[in-house]
Structures are given as structure tokens and as C-alpha cells.
Amino acid sequence: MWVHRHIDMGSAEDWQAKSEIALEDLAHALILNPRRDDWDSSWEQSIGSPQFREQVEWELDGMDRADVIAFYFAPKTKAPITLLELGLHASGGKLVVLCPEDYWRKGNVDIVCQRYGIEQAKDFGGLVNAVRRRPQR
């Protein structure tokens, strides 16, 4: 099982769909994608909002259970939640990261990855290959 993450309020490219296609031959893998067609941006981003809380808890549960978590920090996005999740899972040994040179916080991402021994891919193909190399349950 593996999870991938990065949406940035709809401004990020749908790299999750690309990765699902690239990994469709891994029949034993369960891919959890946080993008959802029925997401309503009017939902209050509050612990008291049942729909919002359900989505966040589903994502956190998925990452906790995952064998591999792949993050892509797209250059034209901020990705504050992905940065938060990078911190949450940095020491867990599950992460593979793609962070291009022009991502606004690349230095921070690089330092965290180096400190915790997180594999960094150079491009999208490298990210997919890094996921393929990881043992799966």
C-alpha cells in the first residue's frame, strides 16, 4: 500500500493520476489519492466541520498505514499541508520526495530529507521508480 500527496487548493497538476497510470501494473498495491471529485471548497476548514475532519482523518490514517508515501512539491505551489505532512513522517522511513529546484522552500525540504535519510527523486520518472523499488506488503 502507498499514499501520495500534494494538492495545494487545486492549483497543483494532477500528478496523482499520472502516478496511478504509471504504477497500474502493481496489482498488489493499493494507491490512496487524496483528490476527490466531490470536494467542496466551501466546507469550513475546522475541526468542527464533519466533512473536513473526515477527509483529514482519512488522509492521516492512510499515511499511517502506508508502506510508501510519495510527495511532489510542484514549483508553482506552496503546499503548506504537504510540508506539514513531510514533518510528520520524516523519521518514519516511508517517504520518497520529488522537489524541483524552483520550489519555493526547496532548501527546507532538502535539509529535512538529508537529515532523515529520505530518498529524493530528480524527476517524475525517478519518483515512480523509487516507489517501485520499495517493498510492499
Q: What is the pLDDT of residue 8?
A: 53
Residues 6+ apart with CB under 8 A from 99: 71, 72, 73, 106, 109, 110, 113, 120
Cα torsion angle, 98, 103, 105, 108, sign: positive
Q: What is the pLDDT of residue 64?
A: 94
Give the C-alpha distances (Å, rounded to integers) separating 69 from 36, 41, 44, 134. 18, 25, 27, 10
Look at residues 114, 104, 49 and name the one whose alpha carbon lies nearest to residue 74.
Answer: 104
Q: What is the pLDDT of residue 46?
A: 97
In a domain, 22, yes or no: yes
In a domain, 54, yes or no: yes
Domain CATH number, residue 86? 3.40.50.450
pLDDT along the chain (137 residues), means of 10: 47 71 75 76 92 93 92 92 96 96 98 98 94 81
In a domain, 40, yes or no: no
User: Domain of 123?
Assistant: 2-34+48-133
Residue labelled with grid coordinates 510527495: 71
Q: What is the pLDDT of residue 5?
A: 44
Number of domains forming the structure of the chain: 1
Scanning 23-79, the segments in alpha helix (DSSP H) are 50-65
pLDDT digits (tens, 9 = 90+) for 98-134: 999 999 999 999 999 999 999 999 999 999 999 999 8
In a domain, 43, yes or no: no
In a domain, 41, yes or no: no
In a domain, 13, yes or no: yes
In a domain, 21, yes or no: yes
In a domain, 113, yes or no: yes
Q: What is the pLDDT of residue 96?
A: 96
